[in-house]
Amino acid sequence: MKNKNISSISEFGLIDIIKKQFATAKNNKNIIVGIGDDSFCFKSGKNNICITKDMLIEDVHFKKDWITPQNLGEKAIEVNVSDIAAMGNVKPEYALIGLGLPPKTSEIFVKNLSNGFKKACDKYRITVVGGDTAKSDKITISVTVVGLCKEKVIKRNGANEGDIIGVTNTFGDAGAGVTLLYKYGAKHKYNKDEYFLISKQNNPKARLREARKISKYLTSLTDASDGLYISVDLLTKDSDKGADIYMDTIPISSSLKKVFKEDKKQLNFALFGAEDYELVFTTPKSKSKLLKKLVPEISYIGRINSSKKVEYFYNGKKQKIKYAGFQHF
Amino acid sequence: MKNKNISSISEFGLIDIIKKQFATAKNNKNIIVGIGDDSFCFKSGKNNICITKDMLIEDVHFKKDWITPQNLGEKAIEVNVSDIAAMGNVKPEYALIGLGLPPKTSEIFVKNLSNGFKKACDKYRITVVGGDTAKSDKITISVTVVGLCKEKVIKRNGANEGDIIGVTNTFGDAGAGVTLLYKYGAKHKYNKDEYFLISKQNNPKARLREARKISKYLTSLTDASDGLYISVDLLTKDSDKGADIYMDTIPISSSLKKVFKEDKKQLNFALFGAEDYELVFTTPKSKSKLLKKLVPEISYIGRINSSKKVEYFYNGKKQKIKYAGFQHF
């Protein structure tokens, strides 16, 4: 057997190796959502229980100098709540926090990190119920959030032909923010717009309230943790459909427009910049106005079709878009 | 504020900082077992749901050269199932696997690791339902196991005065095994007894079947992941009791006796060597014979009293025992 190393396999390829291994084990009648969605969900009595698990590793997901320990703690919770929000109307209830810390870590750092966990957990009324600590070379935070859902969970695979594709807020900000940090570091004096982009990277907010308001009208749903391009790809592939995306309608913040003036750059961040944690969903066209009334920060960016291809249009012209995103491996 | 670094705080001190932060958040009526037991448990309809989370980090919990990737995968599941077993008659149902891997990791390593996950999950009929992969400097495995329990869960805090303290199988083997690996490395030619000790370190087995058989007779229960001394300390402290431990009755394997001939060394491994993953429990004296009939591998090593101190006796003489175990920080 040819023995590749995993840097030649993508992160998604790696998940595929593991998914394949466990594909046969999926026929458990209580499992509502198995491997490969934003959260795992199973039935327990009248409840659906959703569980998510996301790791943040120093120098992979963050640099210690770029983010305050409190923001880091908040973010570790928010990104998990975002995965919970991506299942629809789910109430996050409990968190387990696994912490790997280098022995030289200061007690103040741990306290501030813990303050961040607490701030985000208090906001969502999540109870921290356990965890695990260990020594490690790099700061490693592995959070598990448990949510309860009394309604149907919204998977990635329910998009229908003719549905329109909606998103919340703006895209590309977090990716632009991390680009600024890479270029100028944390100590640079940033202006207000640059600071907005950086805070979208360092202090993201899960769209739980928004998901709760609109979930019953949605046919599919995910959160954009790896860029809009990947989110659209996941929704269409899992639904066995295609889509037309109108790039002119992708919402871009005024800050992103001011800091990176080129259209092409803005769209590049929007499609391939990770960590926006905005909702990406499909809904019947008939519901589009209602949803925008419920959540004014919604924009519509495209339409589902039966082609099994995702095509991108800009000013009415078809564009060749190649995946150019960030993957861990 | 004096800013200590965490190497001057113990692992348990670190958990205390975090526990304190979240102590106020504990009044949720569905929580049966909160922060600080082997698993977190909450009520959902008629079920109790137990969730556990344990990390294995390269060069902290294992060295890559000392353990095969398949054993490592099995162990990552077994240690979590052990935490589930420590709650009584709980059926582990689902696993989420978080993997941090260095980019140079070979595909074969990942496949063998995944084979290990699968072997252990198949054994317990656990369905792998999700996970997360990321790049990291050191191999980092963070597993979450979800178990269902239709009976009362057994906590650490129910020991009564007069209860006797029981354990399964033998103690000290895993600690002795890792000592051999430190001393002679993985390539050394080990004899049968040495190999037994190393395999207890590298290939531990959760005592799920045993816990299930005896759980309804137990007043408190934990698994010995950090040595017998710590386990007894946890059970007595959480129960607000004390204990007398008769060191002559601590079960020591014939392999440990052959490889490390000194009594004192054997007991040192048993009390302070980590990762035996055996059950440590208390039960009314009247049940002791019944339990030994159900699980012949049980030994009794002491008795609960109201003193709030744990005292150790050897050949009838009180011994001064000081904590000398391994902590991550």
pLDDT in tens, A256-297: 999 999 999 999 999 999 899 999 999 999 999 999 999 999
Return the residue of A nearest to B57 by Cα: A136
Q: Which of A31, A54, A140 sits opposite B127 (nearest CB)?
A: A31
Strand (E) or helix (H) holding B310 = strand B310-314
Mean pLDDT of the region B79-96: 95
Report which of B312, B307, B300 is spatially closest to residue B271, judged by C-alpha positions.
Answer: B312
Contact B17 A110 (CB under 8 A): yes
Query: What's the pLDDT tens digit per position in B124-178?
Result: 999 988 777 888 889 999 999 999 999 999 999 999 999 999 999 999 999 999 9
Contact B107 A137 (CB under 8 A): no
3-state secondary structure of B108: helix
Q: Which of A3, A26, A328 sits opposite B133 (nearest CB)?
A: A328
Task: pLDDT band for A118, please (50, 70, 90 cuts).
Answer: very high
Q: What is the pLDDT of residue B172?
A: 97
Task: pLDDT band for B82, please (50, 70, 90 cuts).
Answer: very high
Distances (CA, A) of B313 to B205, B228, B247, B316, B318: 29, 15, 6, 6, 4
Q: Which of B115, B134, B146 sits opposite A55 (nearest CB)?
A: B134
Q: Which of B39, B42, B60 sits opposite A135 (nearest CB)?
A: B60
DSSP secondary structure of A33-67: E-TTSSSEEEEETTEEEEEEEEEEEBTTTB-TTTS
Q: What is the pLDDT of residue A325?
A: 55
Contact A140 B135 (CB under 8 A): no
Contact B18 A131 (CB under 8 A): yes
- B164-319: CATH class: alpha beta
Q: Which of A28, A37, A53, A153 should be substituted to probe chain B, the one whose Cβ sees the most B Cβ atoms within 10 Å?
A: A53
Please give the share of chain B, as a percent, with pLDDT higher than 70. 90
Task: pLDDT band for A53, please (50, 70, 90 cuts).
Answer: confident
Q: What is the ipTM of this complex?
A: 0.82
* Residues contacting residue B298 through CB under 8 Å, at least 6 positions apart: B166, B167, B168, B214, B291, B292
Rounded to a whole number of angstroms, the distance from the CA of A264 to the nearest CA of chain B is 29
Rounded to a whole number of angstroms, the distance from the CA of B275 to the nearest CA of chain A is 14
User: Which residues of A are less than 8 Å from B22 in CB distance?
Assistant: 117-118, 121, 127-128
For all residues of chain B together, what is the average pLDDT?
90
Contact A140 B137 (CB under 8 A): no
Mean pLDDT of the region B54-68: 91
Give the span between the Cα atoms of B215 and A87, in whole angstroms.
36
- Tracing tokens 């090593």 back to the chain, one arrives at B301
Task: pLDDT band for A327, please (50, 70, 90 cuts).
Answer: very low
Contact B114 A4 (CB under 8 A): no
Q: Which of B21, B119, B143 should be substituted to probe chain A, the one whose Cβ sees the most A Cβ atoms within 10 Å?
A: B21
Query: What's the pLDDT tens digit per position in B176-198?
Result: 999 999 999 999 999 999 999 99
Which residue ranges does chain A devote to CATH 3.90.650.10? 164-319
Return the residue of A nearest to B128 by Cα: A22
DSSP secondary structure of A195-230: HHHHHHHHS----HHHHHHHGGG-SEEEE-SS-HHH
Mean pLDDT of the region B45-73: 92
Give the span between the Cα atoms of B239 and B308, in whole angstroms.
9
Which residue ranges does chain A devote to CATH 3.30.1330.10? 6-149
Query: What's the pLDDT tens digit per position in A102-112?
Result: 988 998 999 99
Return the residue of A nearest to B138 by Cα: A137
Rounded to a whole number of angstroms, the distance from the CA of B150 to the nearest CA of chain A is 12
B230 close to B273: Cβ distance less than 8 angstroms: no
Q: What is the pLDDT of residue B24?
A: 47
User: Which residues of B are less than 8 Å from A142 in CB distance?
Assistant: 53, 55, 98, 142
Give the span between the Cα atoms of A9 and B291, in whole angstroms.
51
Report which of A243, A262, A242 is spatially closest to residue A252, judged by C-alpha positions.
Answer: A262
B6 close to B15: Cβ distance less than 8 angstroms: no
Return the residue of A nearest to B17 by Cα: A111
| pTM score, whole prediction | 0.88
User: Which residues of A are less than 8 Å from B17 in CB distance?
Assistant: 107, 110-111, 114
User: Which residues of B are less than 8 Å from A114 in CB distance?
Assistant: 17-18, 21
Contact B127 A22 (CB under 8 A): yes
Q: Which of A3, A18, A135 sits opposite B329 (nearest CB)?
A: A135
Strand (E) or helix (H) holding B268 = helix B263-272
Mean pLDDT of the region B31-59: 86
A26 pLDDT higher than 50: yes
- Total residues found in chain B within this entry: 329
Mean pLDDT of the region B71-96: 96
B37 close to B158: Cβ distance less than 8 angstroms: no
B267 pLDDT higher than 90: yes
Query: What's the pLDDT tens digit per position in A208-226?
Result: 999 999 999 999 999 998 8
3-state secondary structure of B280: strand
Number of Cβ pairs closer than 8 Å across A and B? 275
User: Which residues of A are less than 8 Å from B329 in CB distance?
Assistant: 101, 103, 133, 135
Q: What is the pLDDT of residue A265?
A: 93
Contact B55 A98 (CB under 8 A): yes
Contact A39 B96 (CB under 8 A): no
* Residues contacting residue A94 through CB under 8 Å, at least 6 positions apart: A126, A127, A128, A129, A145, A146, B31, B40, B42, B51
Rounded to a whole number of angstroms, the distance from the CA of A57 to the nearest CA of chain B is 7
Contact B129 A40 (CB under 8 A): yes
Mean pLDDT of the region B113-121: 95
Q: Which of A126-130, B258-262, B322-326 has the lowest mean pLDDT?
A: B322-326
Pick the CATH number of A6-149 from 3.40.50.2300, 3.50.50.60, 3.90.1150.10, 3.30.1330.10: 3.30.1330.10
B17 pLDDT higher than 90: no
User: Which residues of A are less than 8 Å from B105 in CB distance?
Assistant: 5-6
A5 pLDDT higher than 60: yes
The half-sphere exposure of B205 on its side-chain side, counting CA atoms within 13 A, is: 12
Give the span between the Cα atoms of A50 and A147, in whole angstroms.
5
Rounded to a whole number of angstroms, the distance from the CA of A138 to the nearest CA of chain B is 8
